[in-house]
Structure 1
Amino acid sequence: MKNRNLLLLFSSLSAGAVDLSASESKTQFAEVGDHKIAYRSVGTGDPLILCSRFRANLDDWDPAFLDALAKKYKVITFNYKGLASSTGHPHSDILGFAKDVTDLADALKIKKFIVGGWSLGGWVAQIVTTEFPERVSHAILIGTKPPGKVNYPLEEIFLNTAYIPDYTVEHETILFFDPTSKISREAAIKSHERIAQRKDKDPKVKPELWEFYGKCHDDYEKDPYGARQKLMTTKIPILVISAHHEICFPPENWFELNQKLPTTQLIIIPQTGHGPHHQYPDMVVSYIDNFIQKIKYDQ
């Protein structure tokens, strides 16, 4: 009997010790009114909800980045309403995209969270931060731009590449890395291979739905919410991670606001492009973790 009890104890401990990696995490669905939000979760700790880029589904985060975050945080990725495996009709304004975050948090019974976003997801994260500040402890913005009109536009090569139906590693190198850097080109191949490891794939966002991202952009640029001004008065800590060769959202747009954003820190990583967290997942996570653990403001 004693040996049997020990065996059962060992089995239960072993089962509890086996955590799924980001490549193995299962797609789940949160009921939100008349639709479902598809999401995945990995890790334990303070909740960190990540908002995805243009055209991305659940598969388009580098698992090395998610797994590194998951060592200390409960990392939640999701699809916006009506896109990829989420059901319903897609949103036509940035506030709708932002409400997906709080709706998902409500469904998962998460009162307060860290919000992160990459590219278009960075716009969403900023609107979550400015419209629902009571829900956000920290904001992490990767490869993105501030609300309203900006003076430094994206490069034409990004637009010419971003709408290609199926990305190859060469397209990903242009879009998310620095093609002029050997280090970055090599990192693009490794990231592509890591993302390809997942076996159960999420549906892609259909091309006929891409227009909703454009509507979201127009709303974000018009900034009817006064989000740009709210960033100048917020007490929520904000970390912006950008790249020296950022062909989509040049960091110069943040430089112009440098003296006006009281809680925003900016990191520029050389020889990287639009996806620095895919090139240097561990390093970027160390920046994020140090920021979250060390930076607090009175709220």
Structure 2
Amino acid sequence: MSTQQTAPTTYISTAPGVTTAYRLLQPSSPTTKIPLLLHIHFRANMDFWDPAFINPLAQHRPLLLFDQPGTGRSTGTVATTFAGWASSAAALLTALEIEKCDVLGFSMGGCCVQMLALGWPGLVRKLILAGTGASAPPEGFEGRGSGLVWPRDVPPRWAIAGLASARGRVQMEEAIRWSFFPGNEEGASAARRYWGRVYERKGVAAGKEEEEGLWELLGDEGSARQREAYAEWMRPNPGNSFERLGELKMPVLVVNGVEDLLIPTSRSWELVKGIRDAGLIVYRGAGHGFLWQYPKEVAGDVGRFLDGGSGGMKARM
């Protein structure tokens, strides 16, 4: 079985002048041939996926990790809309001749995969939306019978600023520690364990090329273009996801931490309200990085959802 620590990085042309870096993890005893495509968060590349989350999932199904054009090891330019990100993801699936997959998007990656499922519904069998939210509602929106009122909860500026300005290993470790994990000793310990697992990838401990790839963070221009995509997401636009959530006919699982600073947990409930066949799981004591704080538990829940029936499970914590 290939793992997050050992899977080779492969490259494929997905558009004129664009080479996309990806890793395809193959299980030794698959229970399904349908791959799970995973999309990472703001400024990150596929090296940031936690092996403790990825490897249990990879035991039973193919996993496809990739870097968006303009990020990590992929060439090209960062798109300034999540519809553009979705188009790039669809292009990768086409290039790899994948006709059906499950999809998981984390944070900004979750915005992208909403648009992928809306724009290419035939590609997506099941959808997992992790620590993310729908786009902005129309002008004058006052809730969907849920008590939610626009403007909704917003993340603290220091958290976004820290992630956007971090340079190199030490600064990014600190930015993720304070914005992804609770501000207590339990959160600090979980962050240290997460980074320790990330550095297990072959070659990283020895300071070889893999570490250089890990810290191939977006510069000012790429980071600004990603933030521009999110700013566009936060302006009313009927072409984005909020007014189209009802179009999502596939089973959907929404997961988040109960103390998410970056994309407040209330927006997870908003997704569930708008999607007919959606279930919700919220993890106590966890922040935006709940995937890294409880990797085995989240991987287990995701696996059961993918192996089971509809997404309409009861909300639980």
Q: Once the 2 structures are TM-superposed, how far is the Cα of residue 82 of structure 1 from its aligned partner?
A: 1.8
Residue 250 of structure 1 aligns with which residue? Answer: 264
Q: Which runs of 5+ in 2 are unaligned?
A: 28-32, 138-150, 204-209, 312-317
Mapped to 2, the partners of 1:177 and 1:125 lie a distance apart of 24
Listed as ranges, the matches of 1:184-263 within 5 Å are: 184-198=187-201, 199=203, 200-201=210-211, 202=213, 203-222=216-235, 223-256=237-270, 258-263=272-277
Contact between 2:44 and 2:217, CA under 8 Å: does it hold in 1? yes
Contact 1:68 1:281 in 2 (8 A): no
- TM-score (ref. length: structure 2): 0.82
Partner-residue secondary structure (3-state), 2:274: coil
Compute the displacement of 1:256 (Å).
4.1
Alignment of 1:105 with 2:93, yes or no, is yes
Superposition deviation, residue 168 in structure 1 = 4.9
Q: State how far apart, in whole Å, the 1-side matches of 2:135 and 2:261 are.
A: 18
1:37 matched residue in structure 2: 20
Superimposed CA distance per residue, residues 37-59 of structure 1 (whole angstroms, 9 cap, x where no aligned partner) = 11112133420111111100121
Deviation at 1:224, TM superposition (A): 4.3
Unpaired segments of 5 or more residues in structure 1?
1-18
For the pair 1:161 / 2:162, whether they are aligned, the reply is yes
Partner of 2:77 in structure 1? 89
> SS state of the match for residue 39, structure 1?
strand
The one-letter amino acid paired with 1:50 is L
State the number of aligned residues.
278
How far 1:174 sits from its partner (Å)?
1.0
Q: Larger Rg: 1 or 2?
A: 1
Query: Please, which of 47, 66, 72 is the counterpart of residue 60 of structure 2?
Result: 72
- Identify the residue that residue 25 of structure 1 maps to in structure 2: 7
Taking only aligned residues, the RMSD between alpha carbons, in angstroms, comes to 1.8
TM-score under structure 1 length normalisation: 0.87
Native 8 Å contact 1:142 1:275 kept in 2: no
Q: After superposition, give the CA deviation of every residue in 1:2-49 in whole Å (9 maximum; x if it has no partner).
A: xxxxxxxxxxxxxxxxx3321111111111131111111213342011
